[in-house]
Chains A and B, each alone.
Chain A
């Protein structure tokens, strides 16, 4: 099989790279302070000084879009790490030990999966309180069952493979089999899952902050910027455009990237 064109991978990768770069470099690229209020220049339409205009408090929208990306990126990364960090070990242990351990852990996972994702995140935020730190935990909780299922499936598949049986015959402990034989063979799948999970994490973060349950003002976040834009939609409709474009582009980029990676690894397509 020769090299094939993988358009989703290329476009998704480019979008993700661009957004990540913009977010990382926000403090150097942004012309203003994201929280600096300017009562004299409120709701200014786009101009040379403010390429995307200013919001109801006179803050520069371009600056806030850049910094909002930074907040979203950090929340997403930490949430995926939390989800994978709790979910994967749970799944590996359930798959390796089987029996009642598996049954108990998987019923817990089923229970978590019985909640629509955003609902579970909101419930967690309700317990922890609103804020972008809490949002990381809330989105992480939502991702736990996803990673647990992937890891369990792989552990079950590998449990009866010859190299696992050989290791067991040599007297390796369960911990050693999991750590040395099963985990390394699960990492690839977990990486793919992390890419897919990230687009969901970005979307959930934006939804939470739109609802006022994520990053709290004055911390810039795309979701809350849209909420603020909604309040002044009649006078300043341009405020809603860029945070919306940013969220859609970020989610699209990660979706395409996930699709592309899956296509590349799936020989049937």
Chain B
């Protein structure tokens, strides 16, 4: 087990390095001179000489006057010291700007993950244990609809119904952390939007895995020896069906993080995703890079966690590794 975890941990190092490298490289992908693209909008009206002066100052400040490999080493060095740079727009340290937003996004992601798993796995089991019934048909159809409905469409719909029509929940914003009663109310609509979307995939996956496992010999044996159906399903079938599902949860978290970017924009929820989009629109490249990096490395870490869980569920993984 320990050996497996260490190997898995070592594997995340090259992937993380590749992620940092690609994020670093993205600035250099900018066609033409990246500095010109980074110039603040107020420089547009100024004349050529002033703009050049601004560009040179910015180039120096960002270290873009250095050769490529020095820049790359510096970038890694700064990250190692947890220095995420300063925002080109607000001039504040990006780390400070990201911290509260990261908390908001994590709250949203975890809440929606809970909703997605509860609905997705629950409905998937119901569906698989009653294959080809009307309930099964409704569940599979709804899950496909959930998969196809973009989160911003679903989000607008929920906002229209629950915030505008009935007035039960606030339409947007986030006055406080979800750990307060007031903040929690603001988390519900975004989390449900994101969670319902995630549930779609999990219903399909749980259903197909359960159907497969329920055909296995050990399930037939368990039934033959007179074990109660409920026990067969939860002890024998579900545990084995969970293995691919848990793997999918890691990927699912990636979808949730992607989805959070959009959902945060729909509900004006001040998380990393909304900050990222604002930064792209403001052409605040250091902020863009740092938020992308933060979210991607979170994704890498979650996948590592999921693999550890995977080994815990399936003894074969531990020994095979």
Contact = CB atoms under 8 A, between A and B. Distances in A.
Interface string B124-164: 00000000000000000000110111101100110110001
Counting chain A residues whose Cβ lies within 8 A of the other chain, the interface size class is: 35 or more
B262 A255 contact: no
B262 A251 contact: no
A207 B19 CA distance: 23
B299 interface: yes
Contacts of A110: 14-15, 18
| Consensus secondary structure, chain B interface | helix
B184 interface: no
A119 B292 contact: yes
A128 B34 CA distance: 10
Given A122-B261, A124-B29, A234 B300 contact: no
Contacts of B26: 123-124, 126-127
A123 B280 CA distance: 8
A24 to B, nearest CB: 22
A165 interface: no
Contacts of A203: 150
| Consensus secondary structure, chain A interface | helix
A256 B148 CA distance: 10
Nearest to A137: B29
A130 interface: yes
A127 B283 CA distance: 9
A115 B253 CA distance: 11
Contacts of A230: 156, 266
27 contacts: A111-B21, A114-B15, A114-B300, A115-B22, A115-B292, A115-B299, A116-B257, A119-B292, A119-B295, A122-B277, A122-B288, A122-B292, A123-B289, A124-B29, A127-B29, A128-B31, A129-B37, A206-B150, A207-B152, A212-B281, A226-B156, A240-B153, A244-B157, A248-B149, A251-B148, A252-B144, A252-B148
Interface of A: 107-108, 110-112, 114-119, 122-130, 199, 203, 206-207, 210-213, 223, 226-227, 229-230, 233-234, 237, 240, 244, 247-249, 251-252, 255-256
- 9 A-B pairs closest in CB distance: A111-B18, A252-B148, A118-B258, A244-B153, A116-B254, A116-B258, A127-B29, A251-B148, A126-B288
Interface of B: 14-16, 18-19, 21-23, 26-27, 29-31, 37, 144-145, 147-150, 152-153, 156-157, 159-160, 164, 254-255, 257-259, 261-262, 265-266, 276-277, 279-281, 285, 288-289, 292, 295-296, 299-300
